[in-house]
Structure 1
Amino acid sequence: MRVLAAALAAGTLLATAACSGGGDSPGAASGTASTVAERPPAAQRTTPSSTPGGELTKAGARSALITESDLEDDWNLVKDPSTWRDSLLLGDVDAAEFLTGRSDAQDCKRLMDSLYDETLLGSPSGASAVTGFEQGDSRLYYQVAAYEKADLDQSMEWLKSLPSACDEFTLTGGDHGDRTVQVVERTLPEEGEARQGLTVSVKGTSDGDPVTLTLDVAAVQVGANAITVTNGGLDGADHDSTDAAVAQGTPRLTEVLAGGTPKPTPSGVE
Structure 2
Amino acid sequence: MHRRPSSRAVRALASALAAGTLLTCAACSGGGDGTDGDSASEVAASPLAAEPRIASPRTDRAASPRAEKSAAPVLTPAGAKTALITEADLEDNWTQVKDAATWGDQLIVGKVDVADFLTAKTNAADCQKLLDALYDDDLLGKPSGASALTGFEESNSRLLYQVAAYDRARLGASLNWLKTLPVKCDQFTATDSKGGRRTVQVIESPVPSVGDARQGLQVTVTGTSGSEPTTLTVELAVVRVGTDAITVTSGGLDGTEADTTETAVRQGTARLKDVLAGRTPAAQPGDVD
Instruction: Give the TM-score range, shorter chain.
Output: 0.7 to 0.9
Aligned-partner Cα distance in 2 for 1:252–1:151: 23
Is 2:219 aligned against 1:200? yes
Aligned-partner Cα distance in 2 for 1:21–1:155: 57
Correspondences of 1:99-248 after superposition (within 5 Å): 99-175=118-194, 177-248=196-267
The question of whether the paired residues in 2 share the 8 Å contact of 1:53 and 1:222 is answered with no
Q: Give the residue type in structure 1 aligned to 2:133.
A: S
Aligned-partner Cα distance in 1 for 2:110–2:255: 21
The question of whether the paired residues in 2 share the 8 Å contact of 1:170 and 1:179 is answered with yes
Q: Give the residue type in structure 1 aligned to 2:273.
A: T
Residues 195 and 176 (structure 1 numbering): CA distance in 2 closer, same or farther, change over 3 Å? farther
> Could you say what the CA RMSD is over the residues aligned between the two structures, in angstroms?
2.9
The question of whether the paired residues in 2 share the 8 Å contact of 1:176 and 1:205 is answered with no
Instruction: Give the structure-2-normalised TM-score.
Output: 0.76
Provide the secondary structure at the position in 2 that maps to 1:150: helix
Corresponding residue for 2:91? 72
The question of whether the paired residues in 1 share the 8 Å contact of 2:201 and 2:220 is answered with yes
Alignment coverage as a number of residue pairs? 241
Provide the secondary structure at the position in 1 that maps to 2:74: coil
The question of whether the paired residues in 1 share the 8 Å contact of 2:237 and 2:247 is answered with yes
Instruction: Give ranges in structure 1 of 5+ residues lacking alignment.
Output: 1-12, 29-50
Instruction: After TM superposition, give the deviation of residue 263 of structure 1 in Å.
Output: 2.7
Is 2:30 aligned against 1:21? yes
243, 259, 264: which one pairs with 2:278? 259
Instruction: After TM superposition, give the deviation of residue 99 of structure 1 in Å.
Output: 3.7
Aligned-partner Cα distance in 1 for 2:241–2:148: 15
**Deviations 1:161-213, CA, capped at 9 Å, x for gaps:** 00011000001122571000000101100011110000100000000000000
Aligned-partner Cα distance in 2 for 1:268–1:211: 40
**Deviations 1:132-151, CA, capped at 9 Å, x for gaps:** 10000100000000111111
The question of whether the paired residues in 2 share the 8 Å contact of 1:66 and 1:245 is answered with yes
Aligned-partner Cα distance in 1 for 2:53–2:91: 60
Aligned-partner Cα distance in 2 for 1:156–1:253: 18
Q: Greater Rg, structure 1 or structure 2?
A: 2
Instruction: After TM superposition, give the deviation of residue 224 of structure 1 in Å.
Output: 1.3
The question of whether the paired residues in 2 share the 8 Å contact of 1:176 and 1:204 is answered with no
**Deviations 1:211-265, CA, capped at 9 Å, x for gaps:** 0000000111112111001000000011111111111111211222222221322
Aligned-partner Cα distance in 2 for 1:53–1:178: 47
**Deviations 1:106-125, CA, capped at 9 Å, x for gaps:** 00000011111101111111
Taking CA–CA contacts closer than 8 Å with sequence separation of 6 or more, which of the two structures ends up with the larger relative contact order?
1
Instruction: After TM superposition, give the deviation of residue 102 of structure 1 in Å.
Output: 2.2
Instruction: After TM superposition, give the deviation of residue 16 of structure 1 in Å.
Output: 6.8
Instruction: Give ranges in structure 2 of 5+ residues lacking alignment.
Output: 1-21, 32-49, 56-69
Instruction: Give the structure-1-normalised TM-score.
Output: 0.81
Provide the secondary structure at the position in 2 that maps to 1:246: helix
Aligned-partner Cα distance in 2 for 1:261–1:17: 52
Moved >4 Å (runs of 4+):
13-17, 22-28, 266-269
The question of whether the paired residues in 2 share the 8 Å contact of 1:130 and 1:143 is answered with yes
Identity %: 57
The question of whether the paired residues in 2 share the 8 Å contact of 1:53 and 1:258 is answered with no
Provide the secondary structure at the position in 1 that maps to 2:232: strand
Aligned-partner Cα distance in 1 for 2:82–2:195: 39
Residues 170 and 144 (structure 1 numbering): CA distance in 2 closer, same or farther, change over 3 Å? same
